[in-house]
Amino acid sequence: MTLDLTAALPTFVITLREGFEAALVVGIVLSCLKRAQQSQLNRWVFSGVGAGVGASALVGWLFYLGMGAMRRSQQPYAPIVEPLLEGVLCLVAILMLSWMLLWMTQQARSLKGDIEGAVTEALAQDLSSGSHPPSHPSVSQGPAAAWGIFSLVFIAVLREGFETVVFILAKFQQGWVPTLGALAGLAAAATLGLLLFRTGVKINVRQFFQVMGLLLLLIVSGLVISALKQINGAVEALAHQQPQFANWCNPDGVSCVLGGLVWDARGLLPDQEFPGIILKTLFGYRDRLYVAQAIAYVSFLSTAGWLYFLSLQSTSTSKPQGSQSS
What is the C-alpha to C-alpha distance for residues 136 and 268, in angstroms, rounded to an integer?
Answer: 72
Per DSSP, 141 falls in state P
319 or 236: which carries more pLDDT confidence? Answer: 236
Is the pLDDT at 92 greater than 60? The verdict is yes
Per-residue pLDDT tens for 93-152?
Answer: 899 888 888 877 777 667 778 788 888 888 776 555 544 444 444 445 567 788 888 998
136 membership: H or E segment, kind and range: none
What pLDDT band is residue 47 in, cutting at 50, 70 and 90? very high
Burial of 99 (0-12, 13-18, 19+ CB in 10 A): exposed
More confident position, 3 or 315 = 315
pLDDT cut 90: percent of the chain above it: 13
Confidence band, pLDDT 50/70/90 cuts, at residue 55? very high
pLDDT(174) > 70:
no
236 residue type, one letter: E
Say whether the peptide bond before residue 143 is cis (omega within 30 degrees of 0). Answer: no
pLDDT for 175 equals 65
Q: Please give the pLDDT value at position 141.
A: 55
Element spanning 289, H or E: strand 288-290
pLDDT at 300: 94
Handedness of CA 307, 309, 315, 317 (dihedral sign): negative
- 303: phi > 0 → left, psi -120 to 50 → alpha, else beta; which? alpha
Tell me the pLDDT tens digit for each residue of 224-260: 998 999 999 888 888 877 777 777 777 665 788 888 8
More confident position, 101 or 202: 101
Lowest-pLDDT choice from 69-73, 186-190, 210-214, 256-260: 69-73
H or E stretch covering 288: strand 288-290
Residue percentage of the chain with pLDDT more than 70: 85
Query: Which has the closest alpha carbon to 63: 91, 82, 77?
Result: 82
- d(CA 96, CA 99) in angstroms, rounded, equals 5
CA pair distance 287, 226, nearest whole angstrom = 13
Q: Average of pLDDT values for 285-295?
A: 90
Nearest to 153 by CA among 33, 324, 11: 33
Helices (H) and strands (E) in the chain, counts: 9, 2
Q: Which of 185, 144, 142, 193 is nearest to 164 (CA)?
A: 185
More confident residue, 43 or 200: 43
Q: What is the pLDDT of residue 294?
A: 93
246: which DSSP letter?
A: G
Q: 139 by DSSP, 3-state: which?
A: coil
Q: Please work out, in degrees rounded to the nearest 5, the angle formed at the alpha carbon of residue 298 by the alpha carbons of 295 and 303.
A: 120
CA distance 227 to 220: 11
The C-alpha atoms of residue 29 and residue 35 are separated, in whole angstroms, by 10
Give the separation between CA 311 and CA 308, rounded to whole angstroms: 5
Cα 215 from Cα 179, distance rounded (Å): 19
SS3 142: coil
Q: Are 203 and 220 in contact (CB under 8 A)?
A: no
Most confident of 66-80, 110-124, 184-198: 184-198
Note the pTM of the prediction, 2 decimals: 0.78
CA torsion through residues 4, 222, 189, 50, sign: negative
- Rounded average pLDDT over 172-176: 65
**pLDDT exceeds cutoff 70 at 37:** yes
Residue of 3 and 82 predicted with greater confidence: 82
Higher pLDDT, 68 or 167: 167
